[in-house]
Chains A and B, each alone.
Chain A
């Protein structure tokens, strides 16, 4: 059986990197007595795969990984068991059964929502809200991207799927995954270039809110909606 798990990563846990979060959840599976499937061989490992690595320093309300299990209790019971095995700052939000023929989360990831907020005193300019709207109204937003041999100009405007300037933050829906992938950092880099200001170090705090997968009819839907709660 394939299970998709959604979790949040908050507070100090943002300093724990992706590989360590994977190791953390491997141990969670044992503490919570999840009947997870193992690979064959002399040193068997758990069948577990993460949707999209989250950078160190970012918090999230919508991270995902898939596991394979031999058997499971209902979602409510599993959520309780998993959350009993969590540390402060980590919370399991959903535990859902996927159809048997589902592709794994990583292969269908298409977009992610972010909330980017400037730290006090680190805003690029005082009228950054209006400026950001203007920045986004451009037809092209070109950035220099280093390749193995040289640098090429890449237009990232199409990769910013939507945006919303809020009271004290910028909401961004960004292309994510193996085909197209950009991070909030890069958008802010481009924004500062547009303003012709030097970026201040540690100017933003970012949070990932949700990750979307491309459904069969081409729609971006939250990864958890590919599965169903086990009742």
Chain B
């Protein structure tokens, strides 16, 4: 039996020791002496979160299909173990072999959200890998980052050797082959990074120099190494039904956040919501073939024993064969005790019919995401959902027996006025009133409308990348306006309003649109003890404020300042396909309250057609 990295004594004194033992169903076992390359794949958050991530399951399967590579997993030790590992000087280990991360060839870190940045430093630190890429030696693993936050890698630039821009299925094997070649030739770390820089989609931050104007904006962003490309082109899987997807996903012992089979039905989104980064960077939408999905659904349920399957995509209702897929799942699996969990579908007759088949109507609630309280502001953000559609959907649902509705909105969107904010309360009220139009003897109790707002954070590669973001005070005063309006509504007892603290959103704003200078702030905050910033119990805003002050970060420059469209943005060196000109036009149209039709209605000429596939070429064969 494998020897565990942690002693019984440690494992018995921490929460959920099963986080650290590996050995899960479908864990890949390999003889370490018979592989050439060891890859540690890390999700820098706690095990239950990391194990719920589909991307790692896909890459774990992909890497391990190759006999010469052994891919293992690493997650952030929880606060209790973190403390013990520091006190007792225990190096961070991978779950499979229970061996030190430091001894691996690669440490790959998926960067899914900004608030995990200090956990990345925790991972490096506990692994005893120098935090700064320039300090690493031939004995250290190559540290490579990927995932959505890699679309603006600059705040993390000094901590990574390489960033992988795009979808992981594409160029990893090229990179690993180069690594083996370099090792065989006795090449150095630097030699390898120069080889990596020549591969499409890979960005080696130390090969670039940035200079700044006096006002703090970027003056130049230039390669300092002949092997480094001027533009890094995002990598996309174009043949999405003929690629890596696990048949045997890992099954954790402890309950993970996503404790079910996840079937990714498509990538990308046809809709052009102007606040949405995923919608922009994963363009164009690429649908997976129905037969591919049926086979994967069957295999994954069989090999995991999960009792639930869930569909995943940015907008499942837009999947053209949704009806066929859902009917297949119900016919094939419903009778075998498998629950079918549907993602937030557009509420219409079809989805309500399906939902009534797969879930208990009385226990479930309906979800709408209008995102903004007025049609005017919904036009600004290009959210195609109209009040009429929402009310029709709600009416259908109430007739079908539902009586709970959840509504999601954002506060702080560009051009927002008081009447947009109050519109949140008014829309909630209209939905409640609709319910009470049903004759009393046909109603099932009271209606409950829960409206939640999050604070808008402008993201790179969206038309709002130039927008001013609100301050904490502005956010909170907006939430109070909504709350006060809710209290004025006739059916206020049926309405509930939730909003969050604004501290984290402001920090997220700094990290999302930050440049290389923000790396100092992250490092400073980490040295002050910040980790697990995404977790309320450990987030410490005072320490972050201290770090911001100590590293001379002007929050107005990064947060509230509206950028000039001619300014060099920190992420401009990345080519995501969607052109800067298109984003500028969309930013202009947003201010003019003009909508842009979705990709299936009319091509907007965003630029991603150059990838040669997906929705851009539907019905064009």
Contacts and interface: CB of A to CB of B under 8 A. Distances in A.
A27 B23 contact: no
B24 interface: yes
B420 to A, nearest CB: 40
Nearest to A90: B23
A30 B305 contact: yes
Nearest to A33: B302
A196 interface: no
Contact of B24 (A28, A56, A87): A87
Interface string A30-60: 1100000010001111100000000011000
Nearest to B2: A12
Interface in B1-19: 1-2, 4, 8-9, 11-12, 17-18
Nearest to A24: B253
B362 to A, nearest CB: 9
Question: In the complex, which of the residues A10, A29, A30, A88 has the most CB atoms of chain B within 10 Å of its own CB atom?
Answer: A30
Interface stretch (A15-23, A130-138, A175-183): A15-23
A46 B11 CA distance: 31
B493 interface: no
Given A87-B23, A87-B25, A12 B1 contact: yes
Interface in B80-97: none
B352 interface: no
A29 B305 CA distance: 7
Main secondary structure of the interface of B (DSSP, over half): loop
Contacts of B536: none
B225 interface: no
A13 B23 contact: yes
A46 B307 CA distance: 10
A38 B307 contact: no
A218 interface: no
B337 A46 contact: yes
Contact of A88 (B1, B4, B303): B1
B258 interface: no
A45 B22 CA distance: 27
B507 interface: no
Contact of A31 (B8, B254, B303, B337): B303
A23 B22 CA distance: 17
Given A12-B1, A46-B337, A26 B305 contact: yes
Which of A29, A57, A202 is the most central at the interface, judged by chain B CB atoms within 10 Å of its CB? A202
Contact of A17 (B11, B18, B251, B363): B18
B582 to A, nearest CB: 46
Interface in A199-221: 201-202, 205
Interface residues of B, number: 32
Interface in B363-418: 363
B339 interface: yes
Contacts of A87: 23-25, 27
Q: Report, as a range, how many residues of chain A touch the other chain.
A: 20 to 34
B337 A15 contact: no
A30 B306 CA distance: 8
B253 A16 contact: yes
A31 B18 contact: no
A99 interface: no
Contact of B9 (A88, A89, A201): A201
Contact of A27 (B9, B18, B304): B304
A11 interface: yes
Contact of B23 (A12, A23, A26): A12
Contact of A43 (B8, B17, B339): B339
A23 B339 CA distance: 15
Interface string B271-311: 00000000000000000000000000000011111110000
A31 B9 contact: no
Contact of B359 (A11, A42, A46): A42
A210 B285 CA distance: 57
B23 A88 contact: yes
B133 interface: no
Contacts of B253: 16, 20, 23-24
Interface of A: 10-13, 15-17, 20, 23-24, 26-31, 38, 42-46, 56-57, 85, 87-89, 201-202, 205
Q: Nearest 8 CB-CB pairs, A to B?
A: A27-B305, A30-B305, A15-B17, A31-B305, A42-B360, A12-B21, A11-B1, A202-B9
